[in-house]
Amino acid sequence: MSKPLKWALIAIVCLIVVVLVAVMIAPMVINFEKYKPAIETEASKAMGRNVVLGGKIAPSVFPWVGLALSDVSVENPSGFSEKHFVSVGLFEVRIKLLPLLTGAYEIKRFVIKSPYIVVETSKAGKSNLDGLGGAAKPATVAGSKSEAPPESPKKTGLPIKSLKAEEFAITDGRLLILDQKAGTKQEIKDVGLILTDLSMDQPIGIDFNAIANGHPIQVKGTAGPLGTPIGQKPIQLDIVVGLLEKINARIQGQIENVLEAPRFNAGIQVSPFSLRKALEEADIALPFNTADPQVLDHIALDMTVSGQPDRVVISDGKLTLDDSRITFQGRGQAWNKPDLQLSAELDRIDLDRYLPPPSEKKPSKEDKARTPTPETAETDYAPLRKLVLDAQLKAGQIKAKNMIVQDITFKARARDGIIRIDPLGMALYEGHMAAKSTVNVQSRKPMSKATVTLDDVQSAPLIKDLLDKEMIQGMMSAALDLQFSGDTADTIRKTLSGNGKLQFNDGAIVGLDLGGMVRNVQSAFGLAEKSSERPRTDFSELVVQFVANNGVTTLEVANLVSPLLRVAASGSADLAQETLNLRIDPKFVGTLKGQGDAKERAGVMVPINVGGTFEKPKFKPDLKALLEQPLPDKEALKEAIPTEKELKQDLEKKGMELLKGLTLPDRKKD
């Protein structure tokens, strides 16, 4: 070896020794506390907030490059209740020095203890996140020349050839979310995260724990391997999430191209659980009461979710809700203007089990009068104006308000604030219903249109199940074409317009004996003996045709045909005021041929005026019209009214009642 080369090598070795000695001695001889104010100043500029290093700075250089900081805090601007935005009890990181030169990261220790973050909104609506990171750089004026040419796209990726960590932990963390304006407080405490087997060539163990508003959250599983370089190969996920100590969800899948344009594909399985029991053990009240205390006791979910940050696809969805089974799929994209496509099939569900239980006591008139009508806030339809929707539902059987419908088909589409439902079809009490509707929410108040047709529906069980009343029997068909505006019951009743036709065949009006009311004087005057049987009016056909204009419904055609009676009705009903103004005119027929017999029977006929309200209608004979009728012939009179002997006996017995109860129009008592 030549003498110059020898002395050069000796010089290099000496230099390395001097550097290593200096690196090891420097932390012991340099007073880093002296530089703390400068570090705080630069950090404050970078954060846009006042940064305080309360504890000592403890550096290390060889063989582990490290730094330990304690009692570090980032303060809030003025005007917030909490002094600190972020505070950390201890931050310590130690990385091996020499491997860094080759792009290998060997972490001895990465520990954060007692991190405390407060996200706060002041009473004035200002957030402590505003302005974080310093002032924004001024935007370049449009049309001006750029200071530097645009940079060519750089290849993304992390300059890490290998990664290994012996200890990675965050312990005793806390997150507090305060909204002074809304008066709300959310807290997540006891946050802990431990990563094990942290490397690039094997799955990384994840163990996360926290308590959110007093309720435990657990996340355990593995992610990886990360691969070399990171993100070039799919990252596998196998994670179990635990909520409220009763709800467990497993996520198995992968994330591709994580650093550039991430895509994910994962199966999500939620094991069967009782939501009711989980909430009870966590001392959380169910947000609504249910008529059946056994519902929400068995819930399970299984589905596949794939997509990218700006779009999601759900497939093979299966939901179990107590006794119901639902399969579903869908997609969503463009979240600023949601574009959704959904489809679902339901076998059966009893919605009455999930609705609130019926009130034991009905409010009296006095209670209703004393209870002020609450002011309803106006609904904001802006989200619906942005919505793009294509949804369809099929259901085998649905029970709601005691009404049972089957074979339901439903399709809904929405775009630019117009929602169309077409078709809506279902099997309904031995018949069928078909409907379609349009709801326009482009303006402040929605405008709605609907057409409904009913074919061969058995009206008696339908009304019994829906209203728990016996009002009418018979096979019903209907055709309705209606429009209205608004979104409250009062507004809808006041603006309802359109037309409709209802027809009942081979049935009866239950609770009303029209024949008895109109066929003789005794019934009209209330002198006849009351029957123990419930009154009813049988008919072979009942047709009602109406037009509605701003809540006032007018009868165009209303005819009832029974074997011995024809009844025509006219008048109107005010839906907003819930009042009636109707007149019933009877006509007798001479045989039992029913609908095919048009022969009128002569006799005393008593027209009936119907007034009052929907809840309590009032029926009164039109005595003035009765007195103006022409006298019938003798034979017809015998058939229409009682015999002379019967009438005399009845008048002697009930004459006083007649005089007390009789009030004729434009007549004064003697």
pLDDT at 4: 53
Q: pTM for the complete prediction? A: 0.72
Count helices and strands in the chain by DSSP H and E runs? 12, 33
What's the chain's length in residues?
670
For range 131-151, the mean pLDDT: 51
Q: What pLDDT does residue 595 have?
A: 40
Which two tokens mark 430?
């031995």
Q: Which of 306, 309, 305, 223 is nearest to 262 (CA)?
A: 309
**Residue whose token pair is 């089990």:** 353
How many CA atoms, within 13 angstroms, populate the side-chain half-sphere of residue 250? Answer: 7
Give 613's DSSP letter.
B
Residue 649, pLDDT above cutoff 90: no
Least confident of 146-160, 375-389, 490-504: 146-160
Q: Are 408 and 425 in contact (CB under 8 A)?
A: yes
Q: Name beta bridge partners: 52.
A: 73
Q: What residues form DSSP beta bridges with 90?
A: 70, 113
Reported as a single tens digit per residue, the pLDDT across 418-462 is: 999 999 999 999 999 999 999 999 998 899 999 999 999 999 998
Q: What is the pLDDT of residues 110-123, one digit of tens each?
A: 999 999 999 999 88
pLDDT of residue 624: 64
Instruction: Please determine, for residue 500, whether its predicted confidence score (pLDDT) is greater than 50.
Output: yes
358, pLDDT greater than 80: no
3-state secondary structure 256-288: ECCCCCCEEEEEEEEEEECHHHHHHHCCCCCCC
Return the percentage of the chain with pLDDT > 90, whole number.
38
Cβ atoms of residues 561 and 587 within 8 Å: no
List the chain domain ranges: 23-127+159-230, 382-466, 470-661
Name the pLDDT band for 55 (thresholds 50, 70, 90): confident
